[in-house]
Structures are given as structure tokens and as C-alpha cells.
Amino acid sequence: MVLLHTSWKFNGLAGVTTLFTMIIVISGFIGRYIYTRIPRTLDGIEVTNITGQAQAAVLVRSRQMLAIWHAIHIPIGITLFSAAIIHIGAALIYATLLR
Amino acid sequence: MRKKPYGCLTLPGLAAGLLTVLVVSLTGILRGGTLFSPGSLNAQAGTLLGGVTSHAEIGGRCSACHSFFWQSSRMADRCVTCHMDVASQLNDPTSLHGVQYQENSNLTCRICHPDHRGLSASLTDMSMVHINHETFGYSLNAHQQQVDGTPFACKTCHVAGYTAFDQIICFTCHQQINPDFMFSHQQAYGQDCLACHDGIDTYGSDFDHDTTAFQLVGKHNQLACVDCHPTARSIADLKATPQDCYSCHAGDDAHQGEFGAGCATCHTPDGWLPASFDHALTRFPLTGAHTQIECTQCHNTLTFAGLSLVCSSCHTDPAIHAGLFAGMTCDQCHSTSAWAPASFNLNHPAQCDDENCINHEEASCRDCHPDSLSTATCLKCHSSNNPDDDHGDDD
């Protein structure tokens, strides 16, 4: 939908916003697979009573990966939201409310 | 222990948001509003207006064209700040802009003149505007499809811009339909097509001359326009064409003006002949055999007025008369019905006093004078020329 909204024009802030949208979507797919490697309850709470050394090692590694992903994904997301809000404001001023 | 899920408001997240705002702000300061431009402004150089020759030179100065919603001026106001010629046209009902604006005052410049569509994109797109082309004196009623069946576009005729029209376009297209006609038509009437043609075929191929005061009948219906309108170059000229016969037919008047300019008194548009002249209106009403002859038998020199009324001006004294009737007129013995029988009312030089000669009253001149009135013979009825012979031999 975002791509259709661009009318295949990627210049200016709108183009930057589109670029970050695509990055955040890809990042989200990656994060989704890291996230599912950590056992959780139905409420999304991590399960702590892991038994077995091998399982414990996987869990530690997954937590580390998720932390790294989170540190990258969140700034990109905030950047996207910031750019999108500015883009929407500019569109309101220069297009929607244009007289 | 229950771990708290990660949130968005992390320090790196907040830093990234602030950095984004900072970058956008700096870019805005350094490069104007280009960051918000939806596309390149038109870069085709034109007349120097407002210090620039193209919109692209305005660059990121959004406010040169755009007004914010809290400002009183509008974009259209900013357009005419530079395009002052358009500002004056808006009040001119004969101009393209004036007509459009007066028909719909809600029209704004940008509806027909969008920008941000690329460096070389056209600055005019009237596809969103309904143009009442008749307002400009030319209907598109007869211009819906081109020769090849494709619909007309504005640029089909307005090659050099929407406000310009070169009438050579008319000839270029119409010669594909009928090249011979177009060539002769242009030779006859020139290249100012719009002087007569208004697009609804008022004076085009469907023109019905019978709707005018001069209906085309008879041979007039077979003529080309130029035969009667050779010098016309506008509708006013066409309408001003004289309708009297003589204006066109003075040159081919066989009577050389003798009968004035009222050709229709005798002639019809079906042809000069037969003429229906009422000879009874003249000094010489036609009667008898005179009604059966052609005009040229009497008017053999094509002189029609002032001819002599005397019979001998046409009829010579025949040999049979032997010169016996000099000084007399034909009508003393003959009528216009025929030469014979003649009614000889004078005293016959050889009267028969015999009371038995009553039959001679039934005889015609030729019975006794077959060759000449100066000689006589009785042999047609009698066996002898001697009057003393027995009349018992009569038939």
C-alpha cells in the first residue's frame, strides 16, 4: 500500500520515508523469527524454567540476538515515524489544505 | 521473575527521532522546501517573469507559489503576481482565460497548469476542464473524430499551444478527405477557413442553401459556390451577394440589355430556353400561325424591341401575287392563321355575269391561278378555257 501511495516516485522526504518503511518491514521479518526462538507463555512472558544445557545455550544466544535487533529496529522505526509525521504535515500544508 | 517487554521509547529510539527532525530541519534551511517537493518543477525556459525564466529556477522557495492555509492570499494570487498578462486576460471575455474564468470563477490556475510533474513535462493539462469551444466562435460538433477514426485531442489542432491555431491544419486534414475539392476551394476562397466555417457546418458540406432567401433551383443547383460567390471571403460577404439576376448574368445577356434586368419575366432557372415571354403584352400579340414559330424566326438578329409591325418586314411578296397588290397590306386578304384561304374582298377583274356561275364563289384563288395571279386557267374544273363552251361539261 505504501508503494502504491508513492505513485512510484521516490524523491524528497516522501522517498526517504518509503525507504525506511521498506527497511523496517524487512527488519520486522527478521525480528519475528528471532522473537519466536524464545519460549513464551500465552501472555508473551518468557518461560524461565528451561531444562537442559543445550536449550539454555540457545535461549541465551536468542536473547542476545533479539537485544541487538531491538537496538537497531527501534531507532529505524522511530526515524520512520518521525519522517512520516513530517511528511504528513507537509502534505497537509502543501496539498490537502492548498488554496 | 516477569520481564518487562521492550518498549519504543528507548534512548537510541529517541535519539534517532531527534536526529531525523534535525536532519529535515537542516535540509530545509539549506535547500529550502525541495525535501517536500513531490516532483521536479518545469524547467522549460520561457519569458522572464518574476526574475526567472522557468519554475525550476524558483527551486525550493515553496512560498513563491504556495500560500499557507492561514494566509489570506491564495496560490492563484501568487501565479498572477508574475503572470501579469494572465491577470489582465481574466477580465477580457474574448481571451481564453477570460472566457474560462467567467464561465466558472472557481477555476484556479493549477487546474489547467499543474507542475511538479518533471523538468520537461507540459505545464498545461486541460483534461480536467470542460471547454465550451463554441465560446471561441468555433464548435467542435463536426470535429469528434479524425479521418482515421481516432478522437480529436486539443493538440491535434492546437499544435503550438492551446491559444494558438494555424489554419493550415484545416487544409492538412481536409485534403485527406477530398484533395481535389480542397485545392480548388482554397484557390477560390483562400486560407482563412474560419472566416466562413464555424465548425457546425453552417457553411460546410451540410449547408442547405434553401434555408437562405435565395433557394437554389434548376441550373443554379448545379453550380459551384465560387460561380456565384467568387469574391466572398467571409460570411458577411456571402450574405451580401446580390440576388438579382443581372448581377451575375449581365455578361451573358443575349438581349444586350434591351429588356432590362428582369430576366425572370421570361426565363426560369431551368434554362434560358424555353422562355415564357407573354407576347400579348407587346404591340404585336401573337395569333394564329405566329404562335407556333420560334422566337428567332422573327427575331433572327436577336433584336427584340422596336421591330416593325408591318407584315412585309418579315414576309416578302410571293411570286404568285405577280406584283398585283403593291400598296396593299397582307392582312387585307390574309389572316395570321394561314396564307390560304385568303379572303379577297376586292372586285375580281373577271366577274362572271352569268347567273349560272355561282360555283365560282367556292373556288380558291389557286383553282384558277395555280402559278400566278396574272394568268388564269379554267381547266381545273372545265374542259376548255373558252367561256362560251357548254357548261354542261362541268364536274
Three cell numbers written together for A53: 544445557
| Average pLDDT over every residue of B217-242 | 85
B36: burial class by Cβ within 10 Å (0-12, 13-18, 19+)?
Answer: buried
Same domain, B163 and B116: no
Helix and strand numbers (H, E) in chain B are 13, 0
In this predicted structure, the answer to whether residue B290 has a pLDDT above a threshold of 80 is yes
Same domain, B151 and B232: yes
CA-CA distance, B126 to B113, in Å (whole number)?
8
In this structure, what DSSP letter does residue A81 have? H
CA-CA distance, A76 to A21, in Å (whole number)?
9
Three cell numbers written together for B299: 427575331
Look over chain B and give the mean of its residue pLDDT values, rounded to a whole number: 83
In a domain, B248, yes or no: no
Best mutation site among A27, A32, A78, A92 for testing chain B: the one with the most B CBs within 10 Å?
Answer: A78
In a domain, B326, yes or no: no
In a domain, B319, yes or no: no
Q: Of A83, A90, A98, which is closest to B20 when you measure between CB atoms?
A: A83
Same domain, B111 and B191: no
Question: What is the ipTM for the molecules in this complex?
Answer: 0.82
In a domain, B122, yes or no: yes
Scanning every residue of chain A, which has its alpha carbon at the shortest distance from the alpha carbon of B35? Answer: A12
CA-CA distance, B297 to B309, in Å (whole number)?
14
CA A50 to chain centre: 29
The domain boundary, picked from B195, B215, B243, lies at B243
Helix (H) or strand (E) holding B173: helix B168-174
Same domain, B60 and B122: yes
CA distance B66 to chain A (A): 7
The domain boundary, picked from B129, B150, B168, lies at B129
What is the reported pLDDT for B390?
55
CA-CA distance, B240 to B113, in Å (whole number)?
44
pLDDT tier at B140, thresholds 50, 70, 90: confident
Same domain, B215 and B156: yes
In a domain, B42, yes or no: yes
| Average pLDDT over every residue of B83-101 | 87
Same domain, B26 and B122: yes
Task: Please give the model's pTM, rounded to 2 decimal places.
Answer: 0.52
- The answer to whether the bond into B318 is cis (omega within 30° of 0) is no
CA-CA distance, B288 to A91, in Å (whole number)?
104
CA-CA distance, B136 to B191, in Å (whole number)?
19
CA-CA distance, B216 to B270, in Å (whole number)?
11
Residue matched to cell numbers 355575269: B353
Three cell numbers written together for B350: 373577271
What is the reported pLDDT for A82?
94
In this structure, what DSSP letter does residue B72 have? S
In a domain, B46, yes or no: yes
Same domain, B44 and B125: yes
In a domain, B73, yes or no: yes
- Which residues of chain A lie closer than 8 angstroms to B14, CB-CB? 78
CA-CA distance, B229 to B241, in Å (whole number)?
7
- The answer to whether the bond into B274 is cis (omega within 30° of 0) is yes
Same domain, B88 and B156: no
What is the reported pLDDT for B17?
92
In this predicted structure, the answer to whether residue A35 has a pLDDT above a threshold of 70 is yes
In this predicted structure, the answer to whether residue B392 has a pLDDT above a threshold of 50 is no
Scanning every residue of chain A, which has its alpha carbon at the shortest distance from the alpha carbon of B13? Answer: A75
* Count of the separate structural domains present in chain B: 4
Percentage of the residues of chain B whose pLDDT score is greater than 70: 91
Range of the structural domain that residue B382 is part of? 366-395
The domain boundary, picked from B243, B263, B288, lies at B243
Same domain, B83 and B174: no
Same domain, B172 and B124: no
Q: Of B20, B24, B39, which is closest to A9 when you measure between CB atoms?
A: B39
In this predicted structure, the answer to whether residue B5 has a pLDDT above a threshold of 60 is no
Same domain, B144 and B235: yes
Buried b / exposed e along B106-139 (16+ C-beta atoms within 10 A): ebbbeebbbbbbeeebeeeeeeeeebeeebeebb
What is the reported pLDDT for B395?
43
Same domain, B138 and B239: yes
Q: What is the pLDDT of residues B148-162, one digit of tens each?
A: 888 888 888 888 877
Mean pLDDT lowest among B111-120, B340-349, B371-380: B340-349
CA distance A78 to chain B (A): 5
What is the reported pLDDT for A50?
65
In a domain, B191, yes or no: yes
